[in-house]
Amino acid sequence: ADSKCYGHMDIYDLLKSHGGKAPRNRRTPMMASNPGEIPEYELNPGELQFRKGDEVLKGTYQVAKWNGTKVSVKIVDRETYSDQEAINSFRHELTVFEKVRHPNVVQFIGAVTQNIPMMIVSEYHANADLGSLIQRKGRLNGHKVLRYALDIARGMTYLHQCKPDPIIHCDLKPKNIFLDNGGLMKVGGFGLMRLSKMAPDKVKLMNHEAIVDTFSYYTAPEMHRNEVFDMSVDAYAFGFILYEVSTPFCSIYAVTLRCAQSRAENITSWVSDLIT
């Protein structure tokens, strides 16, 4: 399969003459028409090993081993291969992810686009995410709050300063911030939102109903209202994260529970009550 994929037809013919079976044609929506078009980030799926007994869940990140190193793998459900919107979202996430390099941003490792199933591979953090850390420890001490806040701010500043267009996260929250083995916070979960450019510094969500979490207090009001917005929506979310890591655990989560029980359409009004 590799010899045919990468254009080594002499090796392919040799293997076939000795009884090698020709690989089945398993085309993906991103299949390159010739070997020269295969992206540099392409990984051999045979090098990814999932633990036996683990259920492979499509559309979610799960742990695997790549050449002996633990990695986080997002597997694309093959049922979405005929959904052009889903494929465009995958391409967008991949395009954003592959161009970023910063100590406070989750590292892109590679992707599988020429084989089924398609996958995005990134670095794995065994220390879990900031949300889990808050649940375990509650309010953090002042030194850690400052250190973590600076890490997140550096990562987000880098994303906002990307060229030619800034990368607006749109879903910044503790579950998308990860603690590495060296104690650094790293921003992840970006590149999932497809945006329409409305002005040089203004954008709008392309699919508001399918993306915005009505009960997320990290989401800025203009996003709830499906209005144009800019990088300040990430600053809004960052402020809530700072509040959460420096405030007793139960108070901030009480807001979500209260909204869910009342089936409110959005929580903007509850947010105002909380911080005043």
Q: Where are the alpha helices (DSSP H) in 99-179?
A: 130-137, 142-160
What token pair was written down for 131? 């949300």
How far is Cα 184 from Cα 165, in angstroms, rounded to an integer?
26
Degrees to nearest 5, angle at CA 194 with 192 and 268: 80
CA distance 111 to 109: 7
Q: What is the CATH number of the domain that holds 58?
A: 3.30.200.20
Q: Tell me which residue of 51, 53, 46 sits closest to 67, measured CA to CA.
A: 46
Dist. CA 245–CA 141, nearest whole Å: 9
pLDDT-based confidence at 6, cuts 50/70/90? low
Do 37 and 169 fall into the same domain? no
What is residue 91's predicted lDDT score, i.e. its pLDDT? Answer: 87
Q: Is 20 a domain residue?
A: no
Which are the catalytic amino acids? 171
187 and 266 in a single domain? The answer is yes
- Residue 7: its pLDDT value, please? 59
Least confident of 23-27, 63-67, 210-214: 23-27
Q: What does the alpha-carbon distance between residue 238 and residue 172 come to, in Å, rounded to a whole number?
A: 7
Are 103 and 145 in a shared domain?
no
Residue 260's pLDDT is what?
A: 43
Q: What is the pLDDT of residues 160-190, one digit of tens each?
A: 999 888 999 999 999 999 999 889 999 998 8
Three-class secondary structure of residue 130 per DSSP:
helix
Crossing angle of helices 142-160 and 232-245, rounded to 10°:
170
Q: Across the chain, what does the average pLDDT equal? A: 80
What pLDDT is attached to residue 104?
96
Range of the domain at 61: 28-123
pLDDT tens for 190-222 read 877 888 888 888 999 887 766 667 668 898 989
DSSP three-state, residue 94: helix
Which one of 96, 123, 150 terminates a domain?
123
From start to end of 162-255, where are the E strands? 177-179, 185-187, 195-199, 202-205
Q: What is the pLDDT of residue 267?
A: 43
What is the reported pLDDT for 121? 95
How many angstroms separate the first and last alpha carbons of the chain?
62
Q: Residue 23 corresponds to which amino acid?
A: P
Asked, for residue 21, whether it belongs to a domain, the answer is no
Q: Do 167 and 217 have their domain in common?
A: yes
CB 122 within 8 A of CB 106: yes
Q: Are residues 110 and 143 in the same domain?
A: no
Neighbours of 198 (CB within 10 A): 13
User: Is residue 10 assigned to a domain?
Assistant: no
Q: Is the domain of 78 the same as that of 198? A: no
Query: How long a stretch of residues is the chain?
Result: 276
What are the structure tokens assigned to 78, written together? 């093959």
Secondary structure letter of residue 59 according to DSSP: T
Write down which residue in 123, 144, 173 finishes a domain: 123
Predicted pLDDT of residue 262: 45
Q: Examine the domain organization and report whether 193 and 108 are in the same domain.
A: no
Residues 58 and 94 in one domain: yes
Q: Most confidently modeled of 112-116, 232-236, 272-276?
A: 232-236
Decide which of 102, 123, 144 is a domain's last residue. 123
Is pLDDT larger for residue 76 or for residue 239? 239
At 14, list the tokens: 């040799």
Spatial contact of 259 and 272, defined as CB atoms under 8 Å apart: no
Q: Which of 186, 176, 180, 41 is nearest to 121 (CA)?
A: 41
- What is the share, in percent, of the chain residues with pLDDT greater than 70? 78
pTM: 0.76
State the pLDDT at residue 212: 67
For position 257, what pLDDT does the model report?
45
* pLDDT tier, 227 (very low <50, low <70, confident <90, very high otherwise): very high
Give, in order, the Cα–Cα distances in Å from 170 to each of 207, 220, 224, 233: 13, 9, 11, 7
**For residues 14-36, b (16+ Cβ closer than 10 Å) or e, as one string?**
ebeeeeeeeeeeeebbbeeeeee
For residue 236, pLDDT over 90 is answered with yes
**How many domains are contained in the chain?**
2
Q: In this predicted model, what pLDDT tens digit does every residue of 85-137 receive, in sequence order? A: 778 888 888 989 999 999 999 999 999 998 888 899 999 988 889 998 888 88
